[in-house]
Structure 1
Amino acid sequence: TSRVDSALADGLSSKVKSLVDYYTDGISSYNEATIVLRDIYMAAILGDVAHAVKVLTNAENSFVLADTGDMLMNVIGNDQTPFIYEKTGNEYNVFMIDEFQDTSTIQYRNFKPLLENSIAQGYNSIVAGDVKQSIYRWRNGEWSILGRLLESDFTEERVRDEPLTTNWRSLPEIVKFNNTLFTVLPGIIDRYPEFNGSLDKLADVYVNVVQSVPNDKKGGYIRIENVSSEDNDSRKKDGFKKKILSFLPEIIKQCQDDGYRASDIGILVRFKSEATEILDYLNRYSASISEDEGKRYNFNLLSADSLIVGNSDAVRFIVAAMKRIIDSDDSINRGEMLRYYHLTGLRGGGESVISFSLVGELEQKYFPLGYGEFLLSIKSRPLFTLSESIISFFGLNGEGSDVAAIGFFQDQVLKYMNENGSDLKGFIAWWEDEGSEQEIELSGEQDAIRIMTIHKAKGLQFKIVLVPFISWQFTPKTKGENFIWVLPDKEPLSIIGAFPVKYNKEMQGTGFERYYNSELWSSYLDNINLLYVAFTRAEERLYGFTFPRNKNEAGAILFSTLSASSSDLDIQTNNEMMVNLPDFLLSGGNVYEQGVKHRNSGAASAEMLLNADYPVFGGENRLRLRFSGGSLLRLDEEKGLSKAYYGTVLHDILGNIIVEDDIQGAVDSAVNDGLLPIGGAEETVEKIRKMISGPLTKEWFAPGAEVLTEPEILAGDGEIRRPDRVVIRNNQATVIDYKFGGERSEHLNQIKYYKSLLTGLGYQVKMAALWYVEQDKIVEV
């Protein structure tokens, strides 16, 4: 002890105190540096990618569409009358901006001058939104712009806040439930220890949540069940989900027994993966029910995934068959054909595993007789006819086929042909790049149960809403790639500016703590808002299921709110449009049930007239599609073709010929497109062979040159010019324009202009020629 006392007297005490002070002063900066260093390599990669994108866009004189807001903001600056709006050539005095709660800070800065100018000129503008439905923060939506910033940026005299206090969507019991739940729930969370001292209050966001209903509305029903089981498997997430899924068919059947249609039902989920689970389960259930139940109940389903045309097995089969036409030896594609053929449900006996060595044998076993010869025979047909031939031959157009997807696919085929021609390889490339991701356009009256995410449901409403998996986390993810941006305020980290770091508890006790707390509070707001959007979609009935596993999950928070006494929380619920939530708890507090189920009193919707199959018309007597108005000039086939029309057809055929070997295919395409009668095909082939056999014309269609047919050239006057043919050989260009009438002086001016355009583009023009095809005359310039 004496030695310790001696050491303390000699200055140990001050040294220890200095050491503690050094630790206390520096630990925050040390932890900040540790957090930043952990992700600095990722940030460096992001910086390199951003720099590469900037270099590329600058070189192409373009910019990333997502940067439009930043660009406008930089141009506008702080000008009160930004010139960019004046230069648009339009003048608007009044503005209405909807869904304003999802506006980003950059968007608001760009909108603000418009609003200020409108008000300054004595006009009124409207900003519509609901901060309780702000669920797009991940898209930079900022609720506080509507909640606070508008009132601070504009004087009180210039802003009038008008809450919409009447609910015209839902029945009274639904409205009372939501009024009470979303008054109590924010108040409970505001009392959480982690939000002590927070200036932001969730209750302030929900201050105007209470709504009334028109006097003529009665009824409404709510049932929320907290699923539990002694079964060990059911205590796991997958087990809980399986149990909840088993409840859904009975609820759907009960609702349809009460007079509701399938289209009156919306199933809302937090994640797309959950929508897929529900879709798969209900599809399997629908396939397993008896024929009588199948007639009595409608289990037709619509979801985002089911509306993606590329997800249709029938469409996948058609595309695989097209690929087979291009390359008949591709074993992988042949296996895909077999797989999708069975998945269409029109043929049984599909093997779960297909061995490449057995592909040929399985094709013989399952495909219609003569499939190989058939695919070869349709190779030269136009895209649309080729596709319809596949549909017909393989029986994809019968009752029970995926009519909507097949019809939409054929629409896309026609659209592609109009814009790009009948190129099978080109279509396959376009389909795989972008076409397969398009959503099938269906009538809003389609009688089917909708399955969608809560985000997609925003702005919609359903008579019956099911929320099967109320289980998402209210707290931000602390695992994985959940990054938030921080702005260090102390050197040396302040030098790097804004920086992305992973959200985790290590941020507490550092200079980043305010970002941690802000993200935590915002996450709770996001998830309360998600619950609000889901529950307020319901018009007449609301069903929900939870399987809480920890206190931060939506289900646990929901049931803790349902069991909370408003009086204990000092929250006023004596309004006639509110209820005491614990009064409606049953089954030991695991079921909340409010209201009574009534039969659907609304007028029944008219039955939809839907095609049960996809009709295909084959043979030479089928109607032929015309893709140009010029075809109207033709005469009937008994009298032959008009001279003007035949010239137009020859012009189109020549545009599809690169070398002499292409003549037959180009003529066949014209026949299949209905541009040329079948009887005239052979004569036309011989005529074209003769036309291109001359000394000059033979060179124009000889192999080994780069050939551009109707290339688009942007002229100095801003117009697009298209010479019929440009042949580039040995760095020298020959430009040719076809003519099918008499000689005119303007023809010479035209070909001279084409020559000057090519010269201006840096080409050495060897020859510019007018080819009067019918006269077999060439005029060189």
Structure 2
Amino acid sequence: MENLTVYKASAGSGKTFTLAVEYIKLLVADPFAFRKTLAVTFTNKATEEMKMRILSQLYGIAHQLPSSQPYLKKIKEETTLSDAQIRENAALALRLLIHNYSYFRVETIDAFFQTVLRNLAKELDLTANLRLELNDNQVEEEAVDMLIEELNKTSRLLHWILEYIQDNMADDKSWNVIAQIKKFGMNIFKDYYKDHRKQLAVVFQEKDFFKNYTARLRTIRKTAEETMKKRGEEFFEIIETHGVSVDDFKSKKSGVCGYFKKLMEGDFVDSEKVYNATAAKATESVDAWLTKANAVAGNPMYDLVETQLMPLLQSTESERKRQALLYATADLTLQHLNQLRLLEGIENKVQAINREVNRFMLSDTQALLQAMIDHQDSPFIFEKIGTQLENIMIDEFQDTSTVQWKNFKVLLLETMSRKGMNMIVGDVKQSIYRWRAGDWRLLNNIEAQFNPKMVTEKSLKTNYRSQRNIIAFNNTFFQKANQQLHAQLQELDEKQAQQVERAYQDVVQEFPAHKEALGMVEVTLFPKSEDYEAQMLASIVDKVDALLQMGVQEKDIAILVRKNDTIQTIGDYFLQHRPDIHLVSNEAFHLSASQAVNIIIQALSVLDNPDDILAKASLSKSYQVYIQGSTFETFNAMLQESTLDKLLPKTFIAQKEQLLGLPISEMVETIYRIFELQTIKGQDAYICAFYDKLNEYTQDNIADIHNFLQLWENSLYKVSIQSSNNEGIKLVTIHKSKGLEYAHVLLPFCDWDLERNDSIVWCAPQQPPFSDLPVVPISYNKTKMLHSFYAKDYIQEYVQNSVDNLNLLYVAFTRAEQGLYVFSKKGDKINSRSKLIETCLGEVAKELNTSQITGEDDAQEATYFKFGDKLPAAKIEVKQKVDNIFLTPAENIPVTIAHNDAQVSFRQSNSSEAFLQKGQETETDKQKGYIQLGSILHAIFSKIRTQEDVPNALRTLEETGVLYDNIITKEKLLALLHQRLTDPRIAPWFTNRWTILNECTILRYNPDTQRTEERRPDRVMMDEQKIVVVDFKFGTPHAEHQRQVCDYIQLLSEMHPQPIEGYLWYIFSNQIIPVK
């Protein structure tokens, strides 16, 4: 029986609809199924969308809303239930989900594994209250700084760092290696390093291993250089001996002589450069060496070439290949060895810091669980979640990493063995997160992971998102792009080429029959020129203007870019040339963009270093311009006539010493007040976010101004603020746009390079002596890697890069619903996306008969392609009442930040007698004792479900140190609890029969006061037959008590269909009063 379904879902094919339908089908069949179902996806936003989709459609089905008819129709097709049964079960499932929301397991992969981690805290020797850290970079930099500070003369790390510095200086590189160490140190969080760190640690423990290994590789490199140099010298010695010069040979310097000259100069690795076509012919033919006059048998030159020079060239070329292979491999292997041996020390320091502050790195979660699964009975691991899972749904599977999959596969196999409903959804073509270890090959080869009889694959082929012309263009373009990529890869590795071809085998999408031939695609390729960027930016503005004039609204336009830096460039250009056009971008709203936050940072800088004139000048300028309302010109004039101190608030200058004596949080609040930052409009969101980050910092670190300013410089300044405005043009990266859709998409600067030489590739050498190290980090470099033992690693990385970049184009092109507008350049280098677009565009134009293309053959003119000229009629938006309460648009609540001085109020205790006098107990003492005992009993009852929970509840209260005194002893308390809880009337309330809700808040909206009100019954007990609500009282009965319980009964009856009983329990008198 198949119980794993794999959906291959191309862009716009209804993936979220399918997921929601499958989840709702489970709930309709069994309304309690959510308790044993786990759905995981990739981002918090996707999680929120999926939860809301499920809740809203359950509501819509239960209330027969028209918007939910497609879901109802699909569910009816695949179940045997009647409409009435489906509606009834949907309503029950919705009610159960809302009241048991913590069991609604739709979450990110990270959130799921964090739950597992916390439940395994004891087994993993972790504290239960550990904090998870997401910022790897900050922690790693802190660890490197501490390592450097702790170095001493006998430290092995110091010795290694000094060697590193010496090697850098020998290679004419910077002696300051700290930044390089920090950058490379981030590799401790990479899966590949984690997989091999134990092997590396063993190797580096060997005395003098690194010294000997490095020496051998340098010898190999030096030998190769000397061998090739000698071959070159030998050639020139022979021709000199025979009185022949370079000019006597055919092609002179650019011929065979050039080959041997390069060898003498140490240039022998790049075959394409050294062993050119002329040299290749010369290994086979004497004529390739000689001019026509000398190319005659018996000629001295002819005999010299035939007997000495050509054999020398043949043997030299054979030797060159061998030596180039060794040289390139040794050179690549040596690149990062100095940094590699520092990784263990950095990792150990990170772990030490984390233990000290009770912190755990989120990036370590998967590796830690994987290690435990490898050595444990796997079901035990996931039983610790506290839920017996039977159904698993994995979304965005193409972005799953190998180690995540290893951990998930164990759980999936377990649920498959129980014949549960399991599904995987993904699209290889949308895998764009390899920098987060996502591996598209997992989905591409998913059938190899399981017994084929247990797996069924389904393809979602119809694109419901885009207009017909856009679908047709994308179908044709990506077919051509895939063919071109396949042809390139075939030359490198046939097997890898087939993998890529398979990834795009389902790229052609169908469109609904009712869709007309609407939609527009435009591609503009600018010629290479110095003003390329200016042309690009002006064209973006022109296209936006044209769309707005056609009636398109700003909120229906999106500008997608490859890098965050480009967002700033485009944003600045619009601000300068078209400030009337509104742009919306989370990437553009960084903390550093806030004038108020910058003033706080500048003030902290002045306090940290009063002699920093630049910081003081910046603060003075900001204060005068943004608070006092001066112009920049006025400020400059004031600066000529006054000192900087006089341009700052007098209070700030006068209170510098007092400010330095405050905790940093209070210091920032005081700066906010002194500089009157509330007067700068539009800063509230920034200030809130800044205070949040400041609070996080003070929890984990010594509250020191200097260190906080360093954090600001390193990372805090670029923290993004979520924008609540959705009415402007969206300016977003391609990565952030994934899963979204926009009516009109502009894609400027579509010219990024395929390869980057600053990336690190981890390789496993197979040939000695290089294989003495299990893994080696090398810099990605085509020329060196292809001519080394790492050629296969290069090809694999090149294939991955190629797929990543083609996928980026696919994701960007498929976001568009009505219009797609691409801007790039022509005549670009072979490995750029613009070259791919240029190459494919002509073929696309031939296949799409109605398309137009101009300027294709003129290198000086822009190429312009257009397909489709008709857009759907603009929709006139009429605000209508939403029929689904879960889809009611959220309204922003205005928030204002205000500063209030802390005030200390004097309160006199009336219990002073208890501290000053000892004597006879008074009536007042008795009353206080009853009140205290009542509070304690109430706290105990709020923590227990059954009588067996009493010892734990007492232990928790005992830890506070305020439980017992000379009146309330432990013995008295236990006796009273035992007497009450064994009462036949009360004992049934404290059994395992019930689902217990202790002091859970009920929210209700009061239409009279137009406010949300809270009610909190002490104890609610629920089973399938009835609900019992009990309120504990410790004084004398009042009518108000009964009204209170009546209120609880009324609220519960609106939420649940079961019969409800209500009681007041006066614990001191043990009186129980039924309430109706």
TM-score bracket relative to the smaller structure? 0.5 to 0.7
**What amino acid maps onto 2:591 in structure 1?**
V
Residue 226 of structure 1 and its aligned partner are, at CA, apart by 0.8
1:320 correspondence with 2:599: no
Change (3 A) 1:446 1:159: same
Equivalents in 1 of 2:691, 2:823: separation in Å? 41
- In structure 2, the gaps of 5 or more residues are 1-296, 858-862, 881-888, 914-954, 971-1076
| The one of 535, 542, 550 aligned to 1:258 | 550
Q: In structure 2, the residue corresponding to 1:178 is in which secondary structure?
A: helix
Change (3 A) 1:320 1:44: closer
Equivalents in 1 of 2:512, 2:765: separation in Å? 53
1:243 correspondence with 2:535: yes
Equivalents in 2 of 1:344, 1:116: separation in Å? 62
1:350 maps to what in 2?
A: 632
Equivalents in 1 of 2:911, 2:689: separation in Å? 32
1:450 correspondence with 2:730: yes
2:525 maps to what in 1?
A: 226
Within a 5 Å distance, the mapping from 1:131-146 to structure 2 comes to 131-146=428-443
Change (3 A) 1:416 1:27: closer
1:472 maps to what in 2?
A: 752
* 2:390/2:420 contact within 8 Å kept: yes
Q: In structure 2, the residue corresponding to 1:541 is in which secondary structure?
A: strand
* 1:584/1:593 contact within 8 Å kept: yes
Deviations 1:23-63 (A, max 9, x none): 74884475245333344252232222224423763797687
Q: In structure 2, the residue corresponding to 1:163 is in which secondary structure?
A: strand
| The one of 476, 485, 490 aligned to 2:767 | 490
2:339 maps to what in 1?
A: 45
Deviations 1:121-171 (A, max 9, x none): 2113111111001112222221111001x2112122212111211223222
Deviations 1:494-520 (A, max 9, x none): 222222223222333543222222222
Q: In structure 1, the residue corresponding to 2:460 is in which secondary structure?
A: coil
Equivalents in 1 of 2:373, 2:656: separation in Å? 60
1:121 correspondence with 2:415: no
Residue 533 of structure 1 and its aligned partner are, at CA, apart by 0.8
Alignment TM-score, normalising by the size of structure 2: 0.49
| The one of 761, 776, 779 aligned to 1:499 | 776
Deviations 1:331-369 (A, max 9, x none): 34322313444775984543799999979635646x578
Within a 5 Å distance, the mapping from 1:188-587 to structure 2 comes to 188-192=484-488, 195=491, 198-199=494-495, 200-201=497-498, 202-218=500-516, 219-228=518-527, 235-236=529-530, 239-287=531-579, 294=580, 298-306=581-589, 308-321=590-603, 324=606, 330-341=612-623, 344=626, 347-350=629-632, 361=643, 364=646, 372=653, 394=675, 396-398=677-679, 401-409=682-690, 432=712, 436-443=717-724, 445-474=725-754, 476-478=755-757, 481-502=758-779, 503-548=781-826, 549-564=828-843, 580=848, 583-587=851-855
Change (3 A) 1:492 1:26: farther
**What amino acid maps onto 1:256 in structure 2?**
L
**What amino acid maps onto 2:835 in structure 1?**
A
Residue 324 of structure 1 and its aligned partner are, at CA, apart by 4.9
1:91 correspondence with 2:370: no
| The one of 862, 874, 884 aligned to 1:600 | 874
Change (3 A) 1:592 1:299: same
RMSD of aligned Cα (Å): 4.9
Q: In structure 2, the residue corresponding to 1:127 is in which secondary structure?
A: strand
* 1:94/1:123 contact within 8 Å kept: yes
* 1:400/1:612 contact within 8 Å kept: no
Q: In structure 2, the residue corresponding to 1:531 is in which secondary structure?
A: helix
Equivalents in 1 of 2:892, 2:380: separation in Å? 53
* 2:851/2:866 contact within 8 Å kept: no
Residue 600 of structure 1 and its aligned partner are, at CA, apart by 3.1
Deviations 1:709-739 (A, max 9, x none): xxxxxxxx9999689xxxxxxxxxxxxx9x9
Equivalents in 1 of 2:418, 2:798: separation in Å? 42
* 2:592/2:598 contact within 8 Å kept: yes
Deviations 1:91-129 (A, max 9, x none): 211111222112222222221111112112211311111
Deviations 1:242-266 (A, max 9, x none): 1111122232233333343333222
1:643 correspondence with 2:909: yes
Residue 641 of structure 1 and its aligned partner are, at CA, apart by 3.9
Equivalents in 2 of 1:210, 1:364: separation in Å? 70
* 1:32/1:507 contact within 8 Å kept: no
Higher share of residues assigned helix? 2
Change (3 A) 1:360 1:536: farther
Equivalents in 1 of 2:729, 2:912: separation in Å? 53
Q: Count the aligned residue pairs.
A: 605
Identity %: 23
* 2:464/2:512 contact within 8 Å kept: yes
Within a 5 Å distance, the mapping from 1:16-35 to structure 2 comes to 24=318, 27-28=321-322, 31-35=325-329
Equivalents in 2 of 1:93, 1:534: separation in Å? 37
Equivalents in 2 of 1:319, 1:605: separation in Å? 44
| The one of 405, 418, 424 aligned to 1:108 | 405
Q: In structure 1, the residue corresponding to 2:619 is in which secondary structure?
A: helix
**What amino acid maps onto 1:529 in structure 2?**
N
2:1011 maps to what in 1?
A: none
**What amino acid maps onto 1:592 in structure 2?**
F
Residue 329 of structure 1 and its aligned partner are, at CA, apart by 6.0
**What amino acid maps onto 1:35 in structure 2?**
T
2:371 maps to what in 1?
A: 74
Alignment TM-score, normalising by the size of structure 1: 0.65
* 1:408/1:441 contact within 8 Å kept: no
**What amino acid maps onto 2:421 in structure 1?**
N
**What amino acid maps onto 1:252 in structure 2?**
V
* 1:134/1:526 contact within 8 Å kept: yes
Deviations 1:560-592 (A, max 9, x none): 21101698xxxxxxxxxxx62783323557111
- In structure 1, the gaps of 5 or more residues are 229-233, 288-293, 568-578, 626-630, 632-636, 648-716, 724-736, 748-781
**What amino acid maps onto 1:593 in structure 2?**
K
Change (3 A) 1:343 1:469: farther
* 1:397/1:616 contact within 8 Å kept: yes
Q: In structure 2, the residue corresponding to 1:361 is in which secondary structure?
A: coil
Equivalents in 1 of 2:506, 2:741: separation in Å? 21
Change (3 A) 1:52 1:301: closer
Residue 532 of structure 1 and its aligned partner are, at CA, apart by 0.5
Equivalents in 2 of 1:105, 1:417: separation in Å? 33
* 2:391/2:421 contact within 8 Å kept: yes
Q: In structure 2, the residue corresponding to 1:484 is in which secondary structure?
A: strand
**What amino acid maps onto 1:50 in structure 2?**
E
